[in-house]
Amino acid sequence: MDVRIFQFNGCNKCFNETILLNGESKYKIEFIEDPKNWKEMKTDVSVITGYLLPEDKDTLEKIKSNSKRVVGYGNCTTMGGIFALANQRGYEVSPLSSFIEETEKVNGCLGEIEELSVAINSEAAPKLQNLCAVCARETTCDYLESVHRQIELEDETTCFNDLGYLCNGFVAKECKERCIDYNAPCRGCKPIIDRSGIRMLGMFGTLMGNIEVATEHSELGATDKLADRDDDITDSLPDVLGNFFRFTLSTSGLPRGRIPSSGNILNDVFTGRLIEELPLISGLLGGNRSISLTLKIIETYETANSIEVSEQTKKYRKELLDLESQLQEAIKSKDPKQYKKITDEIRKIGGNMNLSNVYFGGFKAQIDDKDNFEDYKAHVFDVVEGTYKNGSVEFTIDPIGIVKEIKIKEG
């Protein structure tokens, strides 16, 4: 079977993952990194990865007319993904279905390779349960007293939402990456329902029922109305878009943002996010360089605010960096065995390919049973206003911890 895999814009994490299909003899795979200059030829299955902009329309139609079936792989293609957060600043990142009629789609950040092979072979997709059904934590769904931004690694049996951390597990499918195993609440990259972000917004709004909401006297109506000033609701969630619409902004039905853009999509994705979210986002979208970018952001902040980092943490971080350079070689040689081996090692330390385990001050979950977890346990840190700079990364955060400005030099 002829399979052609196209990488459009954005990080190439999903594109790299398709290397794993390279080893299977039933496919004749061709990787196309520059779809614009692709010489048209008939193909059985076309797999599209990466985020899509309006200018890609012609290329996509060309691919569609030459292929028997088209499969969208990864969140960026199917729902806009993390890059759709730039729509807040006027970009038009759109899902594949708005350009061409796709036959199959595989959600997820990173999309699961097993699901992709099922879609390529046009077999029936396995029925997956809701993430909460397979989560070890127990929920009571009581109203929250307060919402917390940074996770404390103490209670490991109560639902994240009950503890006051926003977890998108309610609207997500079970998955392989399982951020919840590494004390990172689910980010909802694999929604189980349509318009998951906006439904989660309603759900979490209800959970916040006990938190004070500001009302004011309405002069004309002589009764009460919702006040315009900030209150505990808005203060406890400083970045609603980044929390609820992390992957689904372009398919959520919200209007396109009108905030002026900085001109660089990568910077626009990061601007407006929270400091504690930065490693999670850079882990998602750094592509080949995600590990070094994530560690650079973390270390910049740690050094500037003298957050103590243990030797063990440094050792593990060093290992991750070494693995990154090995991974790049494996990607170059397109060797599935080598790729699998290295990604397994990265998953062991970083939790998953999105580096859910990596955090400020250490790691969120125990890496090896032989270790003493206390040696490298991440802890809650203070948000300190200021500008942080280290080589290719420079960012400014405001007193609440929102990133006001960020500059990332590629490479």
Partner 1 sequence: MSCEDIEPEVMEKIQDIVVFMCNECGQGSANTAGVARMAYNPAIRIVRVQCTGQVGPIQIMDALNNGADAVACVGCCLGACHFFNGNILSMHRIKLLKKVFKELGYSDQFVNQYTSRAAEGETAVGDFEDLVIRLSNAIREEGTIKDGC
| Contacts to partner 1 by CB under 8 A | 88, 195, 198-199, 201-202, 204-206, 208-209, 211, 213, 215, 218-226, 228, 231, 233-234, 237, 239-241, 244, 252-259, 272
Between CA 86 and CA 52 the distance in angstroms is 12
Q: Of 131, 118, 400, 103, which Cα lies nearest the Cα of 274? A: 400
Q: Please, which residue, 53 or 309, has the CB nearer to partner 1? A: 53
Q: Please, which residue, 111 or 242, has the CB nearer to partner 1? A: 242
Q: Please, which residue, 20 or 203, has the CB nearer to partner 1? A: 203
Q: Please, which residue, 257 or 350, has the CB nearer to partner 1? A: 257
Nearest approach in angstroms of CB 255 to partner 1 is: 5
Nearest approach in angstroms of CB 242 to partner 1 is: 9
Nearest approach in angstroms of CB 187 to partner 1 is: 17
Nearest approach in angstroms of CB 149 to partner 1 is: 15
Instruction: Say what angle helices 336-350 and 311-333 make with each other, to 10 degrees.
Output: 160
Between CA 377 and CA 141 the distance in angstroms is 28
Letter for the amino acid at 331?
I
Dihedral in degrees, nearest 10, Cα atoms 56, 60, 62, 63? 140
Q: Please, which residue, 272 or 286, has the CB nearer to partner 1? A: 272
Q: Please, which residue, 126 or 221, has the CB nearer to partner 1? A: 221
For residue 67, how many other CB atoms are within 10 A of its CB? Answer: 23
Q: Please, which residue, 33 or 216, has the CB nearer to partner 1? A: 216
Element (H, E) at 326: helix 311-333
Q: Is residue 189 within 8 Å of residue 75, measured between CB atoms?
A: yes
Between CA 265 and CA 27 the distance in angstroms is 35
Q: How many CA atoms lie within 13 A of 86 on its CB side?
A: 24
Nearest approach in angstroms of CB 126 to partner 1 is: 28
Nearest approach in angstroms of CB 200 to partner 1 is: 9
Nearest approach in angstroms of CB 342 to partner 1 is: 38
Q: Please, which residue, 240 or 383, has the CB nearer to partner 1? A: 240
Q: Please, which residue, 335 or 405, has the CB nearer to partner 1? A: 405
Nearest approach in angstroms of CB 204 to partner 1 is: 7
Q: Is residue 257 within 8 Å of residue 88, measured between CB atoms?
A: yes
Between CA 225 and CA 233 the distance in angstroms is 16
The 3-state DSSP class for residue 111 equals strand
Between CA 298 and CA 291 the distance in angstroms is 11
Nearest approach in angstroms of CB 378 to partner 1 is: 28
Element (H, E) at 5: strand 2-7
Between CA 3 and CA 6 the distance in angstroms is 10
Between CA 269 and CA 272 the distance in angstroms is 8
In this structure, are strands 67-73 and 43-49 parallel, antiparallel, or unpaired? parallel
